[in-house]
Amino acid sequence: MKLTSNFKTNVELLQNELNVGKTFDVLERIIDVHNTKFYCYYLDGFVKDTNMEYVRRDMYNLKKEDFESISSAKELIEKALSSIEASTDSDLSSIVKAVLSGQTAIICEKFNEALILDYRTYPSRSVDEPDKEKVLRGSHDGFVETIVFNTALIRRRIRDPKLIFEMHTIGEISQTDVAIGYLDSKVDKKTLNKVKDLIDNLKIKALTLGDESLLEVLMPKNRLNPFPKARYTERPDVVAAEIIEGKVVILIDNTPSALILPASIFDFFQSIDDYYLPVVTGNYLKMLRYFVLLANIFLTPVYVLLTDNPQWLVGKLSFLLPKDPYVIPIFLQFILAEIAIDGLKLASLNTPNSLGTSLSIIGGLILGDYTVQTGWFTPQTILYMAIVALTSFVQPSIELGFALKFNRVILLIATGLFGTWGFIVGVILNIIMLVTTKTITGERYLYPLIPFNWKALKKVIFRTRKQIEKR
């Protein structure tokens, strides 16, 4: 719907659409300039009072003869207003959306177009280091909840005109701003078009939970597959590095993290800190991370397998077997310990910082010692579950951590119930799950292992020396 030539009708339309007078934070201010009324609409908390004073000053400083010579809203912007970010619009829905996004809309009885002034000052926190992704070396800044600030943090690192951020609006109710970022000279056009098509074809009322809400509607058919299809990060240097490698990045307003697409399982094993260190040190950390993650999956199932086959441990290796009698089967002990650790994690999220140490002491020492003394758990169960719990933090993805946990539990149950054959079948089931999993854009989750690409595989497994490009 367009603005009409009837000024009174335009005022009534905007008042009805914006619920002026019903909600306290939508403000309507009238400026009378040379017997001509200007109606200003903006949100309280998004626009500073001083900025509106600048608008009034510009209007009042305009001489009457100059004002009368102005015939359009665009001409008024050029001759009267000092605002840099200013435009005109005649579509009612676009004007309402602009106001609700924090911009200022001004209508005048002389024109059938509205002036859109961008004086937004979003409430935001300072740029701090992310708590989840600590920095060994490198920059200590992290994304915030304001999308414009986040794009600026990336622009600071990539000063290339081919870096593009395309803005989209998702959600019939929330009208959430979503930016697709990519380097036009590096990105795979097929992947980019798939991401654009997925976002453009979304039919959703609101992105109430930001990035997770977006992923759930993008991947509606893989609800039982625990493996994450997008990589989350709160570090601008990680995003900049991935964009240069040809990845597509999605930034969502009100969300202090970025989504990196497409994401294979090897992408989650990467750490930017490996590349802030020398090649030898970076490769050591990479190999250690792979070994620890393998131990995270197989440590407890293999121990259950060994306890079921004690004849495999002879001589000096027999110390690995439990010496004390136990009533609860070993595999069931591990499953109970898995649940207990997750319960302690949930409890720690809601524990005040001042009581965090107390919770660790109670959970780790008192409860662990009690379960051993009462015969619930063996000492080996406590030891190996402690190792598993610690090794889950060698990679920053919470989603991948739970996916590996589910794989480990499948192996535990299969091994505990069916022994050696159960272990073999459990491994096969997990491999089939990985092989059949696809990324959000349809590629194989195990790429570049399946399909095999040695050049790409070597790049993700090893830390290689930076090559100088010849001009």
Point out the domain boundary residue: 241, 263, 285.
263
Q: What is the DSSP letter of 234?
A: -
284-299 pLDDT, tens digit per residue, is: 988 999 999 999 999 9
Q: Are residues 279 and 404 in the same domain?
A: yes
Q: What is the tens place of the pLDDT at every residue in 61-107?
A: 888 888 888 888 888 888 888 877 889 999 999 999 899 888 999 99
In a domain, 452, yes or no: no
Do 258 and 288 lie in one domain? The reply is: no
* pLDDT attached to residue 92: 92
Percentage of residues in the chain having pLDDT higher than 70: 93
Structural domain includes residue 136: no
Does one domain contain both 220 and 254?
yes
Let me know whether 179 and 97 are in one domain.
Answer: no
Q: Note whether residue 141 is domain-resident.
A: no
Least confident of 211-220, 393-402, 414-423, 462-471: 462-471
**Number of domains observed in the structure of the chain:** 3
Q: Is position 319 within any domain?
A: yes
Q: Indicate whether 422 and 281 sit together in one domain.
A: yes
266, two tokens: 């090897």
Asked whether the beta carbons of 255 and 265 are under 8 A apart, the reply is no
Torsion of CA 204, 206, 154, 278, to 10 degrees: -80
- Spatial strand order of the sheet with 176-183 comes to 163-170, 176-183, 248-252, 258-261, 231-233
Determine the structural domain holding residue 13 and report its residue range.
Answer: 7-117
**Residues 45-69, buried b or exposed e (16+ Cβ, 10 A)?**
ebbeeebbeebeebbeebeeeebee
455 lies in some domain: no
The CA-CA-CA angle for residues 441, 443, 448, to 5°, reads 140
Residues 299 and 356 in one domain: yes
**CA–CA distance, 433 with 24 (Å, rounded to integer):** 53
3-state secondary structure (DSSP) of residue 177: strand
How confident is the model at residue 355, as a pLDDT? 61
Angle of CA points 147, 149, 153, to nearest 5°: 115
- State pLDDT tens for residues 159-208: 999 999 999 988 888 888 899 999 999 999 999 998 898 888 888 888 77
Work out the average pLDDT over 409-419. 93
Q: Region 248-262: what's the mean pLDDT?
A: 91
Query: Are 156 and 71 contained in the same domain?
Result: no
**Is 214 contained in some domain?**
yes
CA 448 to the chain's CA centroid = 24
Alpha-carbon span 425 to 19, nearest angstrom: 62
pLDDT reading at 470 higher than 60: no
283 and 232 belong to one structural domain: no
Domain final residue pick, 263, 285, 310? 263
Burial of 234-261, coded b for 16+ CB within 10 Å and e otherwise, reads bbbbbbbbbbeeebbbbbbbebbbbbbb
What's the pLDDT tens digit per position in 326-383?
A: 788 889 999 998 988 888 777 777 777 656 555 666 666 667 777 777 778 888 888 8
Is 244 within a domain?
Answer: yes
Last residue of a domain, one of 209, 240, 263: 263
Residues 26, 107: one domain? Answer: yes
Tokens at residue 27, please?
A: 């403000």
Q: What percent of the chain has pLDDT over 90?
A: 29
**Residue whose entry in the numeric block shows the structure tokens 């994450």:** 228
Neighbours of 110 (CB within 10 A): 16
Question: CA-to-CA distance for 75 and 73, rounded, in angstroms?
Answer: 5
Residue 457 lies in a domain: no
Closest among 450, 443, 327, 415 to 377, alpha carbons compared: 327
Same domain, 285 and 258: no
